[in-house]
Amino acid sequence: MACETLRHHCGVMGVWGDENAAELVYHGLYSLQHRGQESAGIVSADNDRFHRQIGMGTLAQVFSGPATLRELAGRSAIGHNRYSTTGSASQYNIQPLYAELRDGPVAVAHNGNLVNTKKLRRSLQEDGAIFHSTTDSEIIVHLMARSRSDQVRGKLVEAVSNVQGAFSLIVLSDHALYAARDPYAWRPLSIGRSPDGAWAIASETCAFDLIGYEYVQDVEPGTVAVVNDGGLETERFAEAEHTYHCVFEHVYFSRPDSRVGGEYIDKFRRKMGKHLSQEHPADDADIVISVPDSSNTAALGYAKESSTKFEMGLIRNHYVGRTFIQPTQTMREMGVKLKFNPVGGVLRDRNVVVVEDSIVRGTTLHKLAALLRSAGAKELHVRVSCPPIRYPCYYGMDFPSRDELIATGRDVEQIRRQIGVDSLGYLSVENLLASVPQKHGVGYCTACFTGDYPIPVEDAEEETGTKYRYRSARDEEDEED
């Protein structure tokens, strides 16, 4: 097993107080499948009898029929979809994790990435702890196991107070369903409620829509929320001046039909498209197309603002998995062609604005440019609804190392030539931030664009070439003076 800590991003879902808990979690995970396709799992609790079903692959691959769900009895359940690039894609890393603690069983599902795990893991191991996986999430289980508190809530508060980094976490015990979110609230996590008073917690609110639950509120930064038959209680375990929500969740990762702070991501993406059109107009364009599905809404925003017709110039094959996670470059390049087919009738002899949500390695656009030209497109003007991605993410996005990012060491003109298009424009950091809610106490992590990592990362210093700038609270105080 690799000793490198697994980096992953995920979808998590939990239900308390519903006879069909496991089935609801299963359906909820279906609407969160975009957050991870590498493994899936559900743990249910039938009082203090826990049942666990996990496996590699998508939900449909792991839960092949109703029989597999029937074994997951009980009025509460939690589930997890994982998506990873770093670390091993191993059986041992499948979540939810399960553990027998001193006062009873718990299951844990984690989304995000902890950043102080090496030292913690080492000191736990020196103390005799045995790890079964390479996930950082297991550290939380060990910290809970070591807590002197005789309540799961106390154990959880103690554990999450001792880890740093991004975590949107759900824990199930026989007494309650718990949610914990780091003080910077990198990853989303929301609470929902059924008309009958059952509770749900999920990475994104689109999971509630599917199961007929109402979106109640987000889990507050730096708090543990506890739900059971007695209702909802929350406890703050850490304070931060403002959040560092991952702005890339809004650009790409979350579904546009999910809500954050009560507002649809769809709205933020349209604003990104609007600002992009103002910042980088394409005056001789005949049509605007998206790269479905991830840039659809940004493209609509661009088309509206520029009064240019939105067209479907690319048809996506929905039966092909994400090109991004194909293991080799050759497969990845083949994948783009498998996934998209240009519509000649729409594109021929047209000057086309292609709105894309992001460029990571540049593979998608490089291949698409050739495809669109072969279909007769005249000029290609690519507009990207986020800034150039130049730095790796240590808080849960699976961006590759710096040398694989196309924007590393290249300016926009060099990137334009590399992908082979007639013009290229990226949304600025300022305009990206102007497209997302700006409220008191809300701030965003833009480290992948700027290299400003809000909290220190053990790995960052070791990886070559990472410009690692940690802005301490002290620096910020100095600036204010």
Q: What are the catalytic residues?
A: 10
From residue 438, give the alpha-carbon distance in Å to each of 33, 245, 247, 435, 477.
29, 11, 12, 9, 21
* Separation between Cα atoms, residue 180 and residue 236, nearest integer Å: 10
Q: Which is nearer to ligand 5GP, 174 or 311 (CB)?
A: 311
Q: Which amino acid is at 165?
A: G
For residue 393, give the nearest of 471, 468, 473 by alpha carbon.
468
User: Dihedral of CA 142/146/147/149: which sign?
Assistant: positive
Note whether 252 binds ligand 5GP by CB under 6 A.
yes
Q: Which is nearer to ligand 5GP, 51 or 332 (CB)?
A: 332
* Number of separate helices (H) and strands (E) present in the chain: 18, 26
Query: What DSSP string describes 143-195?
Result: HHHH---SSHHHHHHHHHHT--B--EEEEE-SS-EEEEE-TT--S--EEEE-T
> CB of 240: closest distance to Mg ion in angstroms?
32
Tell me which stretch binds Mg ion (CB under 5 A): 93-101, 203-211, 284-292, 426-434: 284-292
Q: Which residues pair with 81 in a beta bridge?
A: 11, 40
* Separation between Cα atoms, residue 361 and residue 363, nearest integer Å: 5
Site string for ligand 5GP, 420-459 (x = CB under 6 A): ----------------------------------------
Tell me which stretch binds ligand 5GP (CB under 6 A): 98-106, 320-328, 347-355, 421-429: 320-328
Q: Is 166 exposed, middle or buried (0-12, 13-18, 19+ CB in 10 A)?
A: buried
Give the one entry of ligand 5GP, Mg ion, none that residue 363 binds, where binding means its C-beta sits below a cut-off of 5 to 8 angstroms depending on kind.
ligand 5GP
Site string for Mg ion, 406-445 (x = CB under 5 A): ----------------------------------------
Tell me which stretch binds Mg ion (CB under 5 A): 1-9, 76-84, 292-300, 420-428: 292-300
- Per the CB < 8 A criterion, the answer to whether 100 and 144 are in contact is no
Give the one entry of Mg ion, ligand 5GP, none that residue 358 binds, where binding means its C-beta sits below a cut-off of 5 to 8 angstroms depending on kind.
ligand 5GP
Q: Which of 223, 294, 308, 446 binds Mg ion (CB under 5 A)?
A: 294
Please, which of residues 76-135 interact with Mg ion by CB under 5 A? none
* Separation between Cα atoms, residue 312 and residue 465, nearest integer Å: 40
Site string for ligand 5GP, 387-406 (x = CB under 6 A): ----------xx--------
Please, which of residues 37-96 interact with ligand 5GP by CB under 6 A? none
Site string for ligand 5GP, 331-360 (x = CB under 6 A): -------------------------xxxxx
- What's the start-to-end Cα distance of the chain, in Å? 50
Binding residues for ligand 5GP, rule: CB under 6 A, are 252, 291, 294, 322, 324-325, 356-364, 397-398
